[in-house]
């Protein structure tokens, strides 16, 4: 029998892969902050965010060269609000490659099916709570839904934002009602298709109902009744019909703490590979740009 595996050399690779899973598979990925402006995390969820200040254009004077200007970059410390973790024991496997594949798939599946929905849910709840305009109304008809979306469009345009620059997060029910409107009922042609991906040039992004709430409750994983962890709709939470926003209104940040690993030889609890997963993340909503977020919230759902 081969010696017990030690997967310590996989820690950096696994951590980087999990960062990419969140960046690529969250439906709120369009809000991710430019990583070039995010410094390294120093511990306990503290990061630094770059702030760039520069002089504007000057009048060119021919024969006198160019007018000198200045650019300064300062790094502002920021504490990420959300800190979540889990510990997993994966039964020992004799073959190194099998142990690596099982661990990688298990951690990846956990991130895709448990972490990504929670991160999205937190972001949508925070967007709703910080929206410049919030409308609370159930949508039941196609014409009513079209009118509701047009109100959101007017709000964006009144704030000087082009609709082609806007994100239109929507529930499946909202899209269904829009598809029923006369504007998108297609009867001509051999292959009619009403599964449109933009609406008045806004990028449409469908959101699963189980992560599209105005408020959520995070389960701590230890309190009686909360052992399963994850999240659920808060008591005062409502289903969201849609959110229309300019992506510049908010910035999403997520950082995995470097995975901690204990080989079966070191793990005192079980003959298993022990992985400790820790994620810090947040959604920064810019105070001066809250007007660029329009939330439409159901009343009864």
What is residue 84's predicted lDDT score, i.e. its pLDDT? 96
The whole-chain average pLDDT of the chain stands at: 90
How far apart are the C-alpha atoms of 278 and 190, rounded to whole Å?
Answer: 52
How far apart are the C-alpha atoms of 202 and 167, rounded to whole Å?
Answer: 6
Whole-structure pTM value = 0.87
How far apart are the C-alpha atoms of 42 and 259, rounded to whole Å?
Answer: 15
How many CB atoms sit inside 10 A of residue 94's CB?
11
What is residue 190's predicted lDDT score, i.e. its pLDDT? 57
Q: What is the pLDDT of residues 240-294, one digit of tens each?
A: 999 999 999 999 999 888 899 988 888 888 888 889 999 999 999 999 999 999 9
What is residue 90's predicted lDDT score, i.e. its pLDDT? 85
Q: What is the pLDDT of residues 87-126, one digit of tens each?
A: 988 887 656 678 888 888 999 999 999 999 999 999 999 9
What is residue 193's predicted lDDT score, i.e. its pLDDT? 66
Q: What is the pLDDT of residues 135-187, one digit of tens each?
A: 999 999 999 999 999 999 999 999 999 999 999 999 999 999 998 886 655 54
- Cα distances from 65 to residues 33, 58, 60, 61, in angstroms, run 37, 12, 8, 7
Which has the closest alpha carbon to 273: 102, 157, 156?
Answer: 102
Q: Write the CB contacts of 2 (distance below 8 Å, at least 6 apart in sequence).
A: 94, 95, 96
Q: Are 175 and 253 in contact (CB under 8 A)?
A: no
How many CB atoms sit inside 10 A of residue 204's CB?
18
CATH tag, 8-54+72-184+195-297: 3.90.1690
Highest mean pLDDT among 39-48, 54-63, 283-292: 283-292
């Amino acid at each position: 029998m081969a010696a017990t595996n030690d997967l310590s050399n996989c820690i950096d690779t696994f951590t980087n892969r999990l960062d990419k899973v969140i960046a690529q598979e969250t439906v709120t990925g369009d809000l991710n902050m430019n990583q070039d402006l995010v410094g390294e995390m120093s511990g306990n969820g503290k990061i630094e965010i770059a702030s760039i200040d520069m002089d504007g254009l000057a009048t060119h004077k021919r024969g006198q060269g160019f007018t000198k200007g200045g650019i300064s970059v300062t790094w502002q410390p920021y504490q990420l609000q959300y800190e979540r973790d889990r510990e997993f024991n994966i039964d020992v496997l004799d073959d190194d490659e099998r142990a690596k594949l099982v661990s990688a798939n298990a951690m990846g599946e956990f991130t895709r099916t448990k972490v990504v929905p929670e991160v999205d849910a937190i972001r949508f709840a925070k967007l709703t709570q910080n929206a410049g305009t919030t409308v609370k109304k159930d949508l039941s008809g196609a014409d009513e839904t079209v009118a509701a979306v047009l109100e959101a469009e007017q709000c964006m345009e009144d704030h000087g934002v082009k609709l082609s620059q806007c994100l239109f997060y929507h529930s499946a029910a909202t899209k269904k009602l829009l598809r029923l409107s006369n504007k998108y009922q297609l009867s001509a042609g051999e292959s009619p298709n009403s599964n449109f991906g933009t609406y008045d040039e806004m990028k449409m992004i469908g959101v699963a109902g189980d992560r599209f709430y105005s408020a959520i409750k995070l389960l701590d994983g230890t309190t009686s009744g909360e052992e399963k962890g994850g999240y659920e709709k808060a008591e005062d939470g409502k289903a969201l019909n849609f959110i229309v926003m300019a992506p510049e209104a908010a910035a999403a940040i997520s950082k995995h703490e470097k995975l901690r690993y204990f080989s079966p030889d070191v793990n005192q609890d079980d003959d298993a590979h022990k992985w400790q997963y820790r994620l810090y993340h947040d959604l920064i909503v810019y105070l001066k740009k809250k007007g660029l977020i329009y939330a439409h919230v159901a009343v009864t759902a």
